[in-house]
Amino acid sequence: MSPTDAAAKITLKFPAGILGENDFRGEKTLKLDAPSLRDICLFAKDDLGFDYLVDISSVDHFGDEPRFEVVYELYSLPHGTHLRLKISVSEDTCEAPTVSDIWPTANWHEREVYDMMGIRFANHPDLRRILMWEGYPHHPLRKDFPLEGKPTDIPDLAFSEVAPLGGGPFVTVPTDGNTQVREPRARHVGELPRPEKFIEEP
């Protein structure tokens, strides 16, 4: 069964739940109506053989509404087929249905999306932060979260200072040089490395 076949079967079964379809470089993506997500996921797993939830990720379309998007990467081991599902999430509700009872691996994926983006998953069995500490008041992958971080002072729990950006390990240096010169890990203290010098190093 190809991704196109799978998408056609889902569309035939849930015509009102499909908001859009996209093909890009051989990959099939279905945009879903959020209330239809669980029924479509159950059908994809039980009837179409998508037994492996590879990942759940989230996108912040800051400035647009709905602001957020949740992306589900499905794979069928029996058929060797990949399928991507997407739903939109409003900033007002900031909530999506859990699929952790359909694919147990969704448990940690949903906790990461909640921790980093602030999207809650209704009926998740244990929705706690997974990377930041409990009580941390921010969601670091939101686009309005500054790259240098935010100072956080939680009495008796944690404190963090704003991280300096100047000279940081992930900040490129403005230059006319090529990618090798701009690569932060190639930087030498007090000077930009010459391309030939960078190439000579093992």
Q: Which of 120, 140, 160 is the last residue of a domain?
A: 140
In a domain, 145, yes or no: no
CB atoms within 10 A of CB 189: 5
In a domain, 157, yes or no: no
Read off the pLDDT of residues 161-187 as tens digits, 9 standing for 90 and up: 887 665 555 556 666 766 666 655 555
Read off the pLDDT of residues 106-156 as tens digits, 9 standing for 90 and up: 999 999 999 999 999 999 999 999 999 888 889 999 999 887 788 888 877
pLDDT band at 200 (very low <50, low <70, confident <90, very high): very low
In a domain, 47, yes or no: yes
Same domain, 56 and 102: yes
Q: Which helix (H) or strand (E) holds 10?
A: helix 3-13
Q: What is the CATH number of the domain that holds 56?
A: 3.30.460.80
Coil/strand/helix, residue 8 = helix
pLDDT at residue 191 tops 70: no
Q: Which domain holds residue 53?
A: 3-140
Q: Any idea which residue has 């879903």 for tokens?
A: 32
- Report the chain's mean pLDDT, rounded to a whole number: 86
Same domain, 86 and 181: no
Same domain, 97 and 180: no
Same domain, 188 and 122: no
- For strands 52-60 and 68-76, give the pairing: antiparallel
Spatial contact of 48 and 41, defined as CB atoms under 8 Å apart = no
Same domain, 89 and 189: no
pTM given for the model: 0.80
In a domain, 160, yes or no: no
Q: Is the dihedral of CA 97, 101, 102, 108 positive or negative?
A: positive
Same domain, 53 and 99: yes
